[in-house]
Amino acid sequence: MAVTYELIKRCSKTGARAGRLYTPHGVFDTPIFMPVGTQATVKAMSPDELKAMGAGIILSNTYHLYLRPGHDLVAEAGGLHKFMQWDRGILTDSGGFQVFSLGPLRKITEDGVTFRSHIDGSKHFLSPEKATEVQMALGSDIIMAFDECVPFPADHEYARESTERTTRWAERCREAHTRNDQALFGIVQGGMYKDLRAMSAKDLVSLDFPGYAIGGLSVGEPKTLMYEMLEHTVPLLPENKPRYLMGVGTPDCLVEGVMRGIDMFDCVFPTRVARNGTVMTTHGRLVVKNAEFARDFRPIDPECGCYACKNFSRAYIRHLLKTEEIFGLRLTTTHNLHFLLNFMREMRNSILEDRFLAFQEEFWAHYRK
């Protein structure tokens, strides 16, 4: 088995749980946040820096790597781990999300999706088999089934047809997948419809994947609706397999997701906003680029132990961002990733000590929405 999950501790009051994932590239503790490295790099960070902040697994995007530099080239380089010099875990998405986001540039059939590259307009075809082949060439530890992320809002009929197709595609991915050092996760869809979420979960669980993602959430719906969908879906998934909530990575959603039994998260948000001068703290977001911080000589977050917070002031970081110095966005990225990884570790400790509910209450007492 490529990837195995060990459930270590269940919270006695909520659905939260602490576990461990064993992969061919190391072991990591869950719940975990996975930094996103779209183009085989977590923007502005070196692999050593990511390791120093305790990142156990990162996410990379199949669509982008398929177009540039091409999965054949990555395979020739010895696989994605070797190509980017990252010897810990890698999860790749299937490319479905990006391809479906192309709007008028793509056409869906039962067979797969024809699309035009956002880079040069060239024509390509991605199918369950192709997405699996590309991810096998990349050599990531966890690969995802090719799915359609049901847009929000979507009517019931469209959501049902799409969700049923996603299940048929998941079966085809399983057929096409031959690398036993990789785990292929199924993705539960179903839009914002409880009956479709239940159908999707049941059908995918019968296909017996080594892990399950919940997709199609955090796509513009109110957060309360996302939590409702999680509450409805997570209990339908097997307890002895990891559960991954796709595209979610703000502190409030991480706490609420963990509370409902999620083990893995990823999101471009923390690194993307960092480059625009927004940082995350236990008290909420701070736009460090704002004029109010021009003479603020305190660290970004006095409670944070990251390299940026231990050494530099808000005023200095603001100055770097205003003058478009590369070091500025390296510092904000360092802080945001360190902050989230540490936040997950603290949350995990609270589960191990069975005080997660108190952790959650303490978090909400300080966090400004």
Residues that bind Zn ion (CB under 5 A): 304, 306, 308-309, 335
Cis peptide bond upstream of 299, omega within 30: no
C-alpha to C-alpha distance for 107 and 192, rounded to whole angstroms: 24
Q: How many CA atoms lie within 13 A of 292 on its CB side?
A: 4
Q: Is 95 flagged in the annotation as binding?
A: yes
State the minimum distance, in angstroms, from the CB of residue 300 to Zn ion: 5
C-alpha to C-alpha distance for 99 and 67, rounded to whole angstroms: 12
90 vs 331, which CB is nearer to Zn ion? 331
Q: Is 147 flagged in the annotation as binding?
A: yes
87 noted as active-site residue = no
93 noted as active-site residue = yes
Instruction: Note the maximum CA span of the chain.
Output: 60
Q: Is 72 flagged in the annotation as binding?
A: no
Q: Is 338 flagged in the annotation as binding?
A: no
Are residues 6 and 22 in contact, defined by beta-carbon separation less than 8 angstroms? yes
Nearest to 17 by CA among 347, 275, 362: 347
State the minimum distance, in angstroms, from the CB of residue 366 to Zn ion: 16
Q: How many CA atoms lie within 13 A of 123 on its CB side?
A: 2
Q: Is 173 flagged in the annotation as binding?
A: no
Strand order from edge to edge, sheet including 17-23:
4-10, 17-23, 26-30
Active-site option among 141, 263, 266, 301: 266
Q: Is the dihedral of CA 356, 360, 363, 369 positive or negative?
A: positive
Element (H, E) at 362: helix 356-366
State the minimum distance, in angstroms, from the CB of residue 302 to Zn ion: 9
Inter-residue long-range contacts of 312-315, CB under 8 Å, 24+ positions, other chains counted: 314/286, 314/288
State the minimum distance, in angstroms, from the CB of residue 301 to Zn ion: 5
Active-site option among 93, 141, 203, 301: 93
State the minimum distance, in angstroms, from the CB of residue 218 to Zn ion: 25
Q: Is 93 flagged in the annotation as binding?
A: yes
215 vs 299, which CB is nearer to Zn ion? 299
Element (H, E) at 316: helix 314-322
Q: Is 60 flagged in the annotation as binding?
A: no
**Centroid of chain to Cα 310:** 27
Enumerate the known binding-site residues for Zn(2+).
Answer: 304, 306, 309, 335
Enumerate the known binding-site residues.
Answer: 93-97, 147, 189, 216, 304, 306, 309, 335
Catalytic residues: 93, 266
